[in-house]
Structure 1
Amino acid sequence: MGGTVRVTVIGWDGRALTDQAAGALATATLVVGGRRHLDALGRHLPAGVRTVVLGGVAAGLAELTGHFAAGGGPAVVLASGDPGFFGILRTLRRHGLDRDHGVDVELLPATSSVAVAFARAGLPWDDALVVSAHGRSLRRAVHVCRAHHTVAVLTGPGPAGGPSALGAALVGLPRRMFVAEELGMPAERTGWCTPQQAAARRDWREPNIVIVRDTDHPRPGEQDSDRAGWLFPHRTSPPGWALDEAAFTHRDSMISKAEVRAVALARLGPGPGDLVWDVGAGSGSVAVECARLGAAVVAVDHDPDACARTRANARTHRVSVQVVPGSAPGVLTGLPAPDAVFVGGGGPEVVAACARHARRSVAVALAALDRVRPTWEALAAAGFDVSGTQLAASRLRPLPDGALRLAATNPIVLVWGERTGEHDDGRS
């Protein structure tokens, strides 16, 4: 492109254009936008202006680049809401349409569609998470909705990325959904529903945004006003992890020790958008730690008392953990596929079953040495790169005279497997 060219990116939320936006349209020689934007704002377009319908984004931006390469005049890109928030501005920059490449970009945002959706729902959103499922799989958005108290999902086109698919993935969980359809348009429609109701409907209008609320757990800040409303996006990780065993309800010290959890968490890598299984959960300490780090978690145990302890520990730490009673490996069938799995109980058969399902990593805690080799072989057979270590921590304890001694904990072997190339950005 020779010299500096100008493109104005106008966000539209259904309200009247500002004088600045209307002026940019009046002098444009090319206008690129979705069909609904071009139709709605047609009265502002000058006679004879060339328009390009932004169906496929890459094709539309190629037209824009070609326009400038041919010496074309000022151009306008129309978008919804705030184009700088999960919008087309980032895409423009990826295609070299920015000031670093000789393009003078002027951004005229309207109110973000996310802000409008929360306003329609009558909810604050400074402590919500916002997830985009546009142009990518809904999988990671679902996991965020499983883990967090309030989530806005920018849905994708078609039934596979819309409210029906999202609702179907959340059936059975304590969630409510607020669906905002065609915000700012004459046919705007909003309302609350259950995941079951969302899944049953097939007439959702596009575009739409879905707010998902956890109905079981209090929002951080609603019971602790000192923690609310000071940071955006709010911190999703806790101030610390590998908590002391005293932070959990457990039976006769039958709990993964803090040192073991610290290494296991490093290998599992839980975070927002991930789903972790804790198989043989016991007290649920690993499940709770993963949930505190932002992951969605399913905890599995055959013992009803262990399931009750896991639920109690999740409530204590104010995190969402789905507890599934039953014996592995049979109970694993039908569960949503995990990114990572911690195996705290069960033999090589359970490890092999978990390895078949895990997308990224498996960590196995073993007290018995005779299970180390079969566990290693089960992970290797499933295509994992396998490693392991013995963890034998000694903790400082005071003596009556004030001196310190070392008190040994029981040694544990941690074996883990990791798949190479399985870390994705949410597009798979």
Structure 2
Amino acid sequence: MITVIGVDGGPLGAEAVASLAGAACVAGAQRHLDAVEVPAGTRRIAIRALDAALEQIMSDPGPVAVLASGDPGFFGIVRALRARGAEPRVLPGVSSVALAFARLGLPWDDAVVVSAHGRAEQGRGPRRALAAALAHPKAAILTAPGGAGPEAFLPALLAAGRRVHVAQRLGTADEQVTLVGEEEASRRTWAHPNVVVAVDPENTVAATMAWTSGHPGAPDGWALGEDAFEHRASMITKPEVRALVLARLGPRPGTVVWDVGAGSGSVAVECARFGAHAIAFERDRADRERIRRNAAAHGVRVEVVAGTAPASTEAAMSPDAVFVGGGGPAVLAGVVRRRPARVVVALAAVDRVRPAHDLLAEAGYVVSGAQVQASRLAPLPGGSLRFAAANPVTVLWATGAETTGEQGGAVSRGLAGA
């Protein structure tokens, strides 16, 4: 029998004390083993490497008591035990996220909670956690030592205008909750475990009562009409084309999506509505202001970067998916150098299709495409209807490349709503 006991700095409950007293083996991080009274003669497993410790726990004849931080069913060891076939009894403590928000006096049913633990697969490191936090006005990040501590998140969150706290060693005698400034972010070291809490000062509490925690998921509708965006002389990706583009980009929380040659920013805004961290690159100053207004009108955050691609993209956070709505071969070549997993290109000129296709294919992508030509209903005199044809657009989509990890990472200060 395995009993998992949550340790939150407070006294253990009667059930937990009884489980410890009756355990033949107690497992936990050294700080947890030191924090409780383990009966003399009880076998101990100090958890350092998780996989090795789990093997020992699963093979022990027991009964085994496993000590874990806070609520072990919330981004904790319960998942790992269940994955190995265990059916543990769980006696939870207060989660570190709940404690962090309590210390700040904030509700957290409207917060997105992300974990940087064990997210280094395929070179992504803490990027997914950071992308989700940047896209949401209130976020908590469960950090980890070894490249995924607060230092990996603080510069970008502060540059985005967030009010950021680091809550260290919650529930212990040396608990500390620190409001972080830019200077402190670059020079201070932090004690583990800790939680980073980032809040948009203008959105400390959600405008409406949340019915589901974290990000609300897909918006009610997408591929919105041109009238949903401010644009310059119809220079906007048409809804029928945008619907296919969004399907191929796959925006969602934890992803970084670029909109290169963004114009009105309609693609970036729609990606942000799905919870992605959207970055819009646009050289025209008036268009950049339009993008910010469009993002604000839809209640999302879009990072807006000034300049001509590919130069303007060099310092940006590495993308998972890129939409290229403007620019020539040099722009597409610059995008490909960053190795996003998905690239989508919209082309009005037929003669540009073959070079773009070949450039993507030569870079190792699997390339597909379709010509999108919509005919929209339009009125005729006398109440009849006709179909009005729109100009055809070729959409290429390329898949199959893997991101190379943390290239760049600086965040522009040109942010919607900042």
CA shift at 1:77, angstroms?
0.3
Does the aligned pair in 2 maintain the 1:280–1:343 contact within 8 Å? Answer: yes
Distance (whole Å) between structure 2 residues aligned to residue 220 and residue 244 of structure 1:
30
**What are the Cα deviations for residues 12-36 of structure 1, in whole angstroms up to 9, with x where unaligned?**
1100010111000011100000101
Q: TM-score, normalised by structure 1?
A: 0.90
Shift of 1:422: 6.6
Using a 3 Å threshold, how does the CA distance of structure 1 residues 202 and 298 change in structure 2: closer, same or farther?
same
User: What is the aligned counterpart of 2:135 among 121, 124, 147?
Assistant: 147
Secondary structure in 2 matching 1:185 = coil
- Tell me the secondary structure at the aligned position of residue 180 of structure 1: strand
Alignment partner for residue 192 of structure 1, among 154, 166, 179? 179
**Partner residue in 2 for 1:301:** 282
Matches within 5 A, 1:173-252: 173-194=160-181, 196-215=182-201, 218=203, 221-222=206-207, 225=208, 228-252=209-233
**Following superposition of structure 1 onto structure 2, how do residues 26-425 of structure 1 map, counting pairs within 5 Å?**
26-41=21-36, 43=37, 45-68=38-61, 73-98=62-87, 105-136=88-119, 137-158=125-146, 160-194=147-181, 196-215=182-201, 218=203, 221-222=206-207, 225=208, 228-419=209-400
Query: Would the aligned equivalents of 2:136 and 2:215 in 1 still touch at CA under 8 Å?
Result: no
Matches of 1:421 and 1:143, distance apart in 2: 17
Deviating more after overlay: 198-207 vs 106-115: 198-207
Are 2:135 and 2:276, in contact at CA under 8 Å, matched by a contact in 1?
Answer: yes
CA distance in 1, matches of 2:387, 2:221: 24
CA distance in 2: counterparts of 1:186 and 1:366, whole angstroms = 61
Partner SS for 1:401: helix
* Separation of aligned partners in 2, 1:193 and 1:237: 32
Tell me how far 1:420 sits from its aligned partner: 5.7
C-alpha distance in 2 between matches for 1:188 and 1:269: 40
Q: Which moved more, 1:173-182 or 1:16-25?
A: 173-182
Given that 1:288 and 1:317 are in contact with CA atoms closer than 8 Å, whether structure 2 keeps it comes out as: yes
Q: Give the superposed CA RMSD.
A: 1.7
TM-score (ref. length: structure 2): 0.92
Inter-CA distance 314–210: structure 2 relative to 1 (3 Å threshold): same
- Structure 1 counterpart SS, 2:234: coil
- 1:406 and 1:219, CA in 2 relative to 1: closer, same or farther beyond 3 A? farther
Post-superposition Cα deviations, 1:113-159, rounded to whole Å, max 9, x if no partner, equal 1111110111111011110101222110111121111111000113x
Conservation of the 8 A alpha-carbon contact between 1:167 and 1:198: no
Offset of residue 234 of structure 1: 4.4
Cα gap change, 1:370/1:220 in structure 2, threshold over 3 Å: closer, same or farther?
A: farther
User: What is the CA–CA distance in structure 1 between the aligned matches of 2:310 and 2:158, rounded to whole Å?
Assistant: 23
State the Cα distance separating 1:408 from its structure 2 match.
Answer: 1.1
Higher relative contact order (CA 8 A, sep 6+): 2
Query: What amino acid maps onto 2:41 in structure 1?
Result: G
1:403 and 1:82 map into 2 onto residues whose CA distance is: 64
Identity of aligned residues (%): 51
Is residue 2:2 matched to residue 1:7?
Answer: yes
Contact 2:338 2:403 in 1 (8 A): no
